[in-house]
Structure 1
Amino acid sequence: MAWLASRGRTGQWGSDPWSTRPAAADRIQGYARDHLVRIAEVDGRPAGVCVLAEEPPEYAPPVGERELYVRLLVTDRALSGSGVGAALIEDARAETRRRGITLLRVDCYGGDDRKLVRQYEALGFTATDPFTVAMPDREPWPGQILEQRLSPA
């Protein structure tokens, strides 16, 4: 988050660390309690985390079939370009197939220059539904849902 804020890109996460926001900390605790959490390590140290769930967030339109949804994907900025995020997405694909599911969805920040959307497209996702989340004391948060169809296991 500090890296984004230092470049004036506070629209995605804001400028205050999540650890200082009680609601954000509660959200992360809920992810750990209710969903599958995968942690990537590099040299024995945490490098990224991916949270997977079979139910989408409330703002995502239903799809009428089973799916696995990437609820959170965060990587260590110091390891940018090392493939940590791609490895976590590949692991999400494998978990999706293991469960006999053929649809993997994710959402991301769709504002600014849509760079994050393009990053997911480079990983094989297709943009589907744009959405907006109302934020207290901030501009609305523009998001983009993306999906990837997988062949059965």
Structure 2
Amino acid sequence: MGLLDAAVAWLASRGRTGQWGAEPFSAVEARVAQIRTMLSERTARIAEEDGEVVGLCVLADEPLPYVDPAPVPELYLQLLITDRDRSGSGIGNILVDDAVEIARRRGVTQMRLDCYAADEALIGVYEKFGFRLESRFTVETGQTKAWPGAILRMEI
């Protein structure tokens, strides 16, 4: 939760609250429950440095409910988060490379993820990891504006 809280604070400090808002993840029980479910029901890979958690990748066989299932078996990257203080250190690359190896071992032909699409820089980060923009979508959240998302895909 510390990584997610730090990411929200970092985004909010830059006026980028559209993705996750400005309230810490740990302060929203529904988000805490979502992360607990992810960690207990899916494949979680944790990056550590000197005993400290510096990254997390959560993988599943299917996307979250607001994304259409793929017509082929896949590995879905449901969460990728790294320590903001270590930005640019390669932690994200290590976690994505690990996910690719898991996908290969499972014999799937693709890996997908979805992300906040109003931030083109975020899409660019995933493209640097080897994903390609596949489509865009919106999710009605009950707020004034729908949440804009993008689906990115990587062939394995």
Check whether TM > 0.5.
yes
- In the alignment, is the contact (CA less than 8 A) between 1:67 and 1:103 conserved in 2? yes
Query: Is the contact between residue 59 and residue 131 of structure 1 (CA under 8 Å) also seen in structure 2?
Result: no
Counterpart of 1:140 in structure 2 is 146
In 1, the alpha carbon distance for the partners of 2:57 and 2:144 equals 26
In 2: Cα distance, 1:12 partner to 1:40 partner:
23
Q: Distance in 2 between matches of 1:129 and 1:104?
A: 14
Matched, 1:116 2:122: yes
Q: Give the structure with the larger helix fraction.
A: 2
**2:141 match: secondary structure:** coil
Indicate the percent of aligned positions where both proteins have the same amino acid: 48
Q: Which residue of 2 aligns with 1:22?
A: 29
Look up the match of 2:68. 61
2:133 is aligned to 127
In 1, distance between residues paired with 2:52 and 2:144?
34
Residue correspondence of structure 1 range 29-108 to structure 2 within 5 A:
29-108=36-115
Q: Give the TM-score normalised by structure 2.
A: 0.91
Partner letter of residue 86 of structure 2? L
What is the CA-CA distance between 1:65 and the residue it aligns to? 1.1
The CA distance in 1 between the partners of 2:148 and 2:29, in whole Å, is 22
The TM-score normalised by the length of structure 1 is 0.93
Counterpart residue identity of residue 105, structure 1: R
The aligned length equals 149
Deviation of the 1:138 alpha carbon? 5.1
Contact 1:40/1:48 (<8 A) preserved: yes
1:37·1:49 contact (CA, 8 Å) conserved in 2? yes
Find the aligned partners of 2:52 and 2:41 in 1 and give their Cα distance: 24
Tell me which amino acid in the other structure corresponds to 2:44. V
2 CA distance for matches of 1:20 and 1:30? 17
Task: Identify if the C-alpha distance between structure 1 residues 64 and 82 changes in structure 2 by more than 3 Å, giving closer, same or farther.
Answer: same
Gaps of 5+ in 2: 1-7
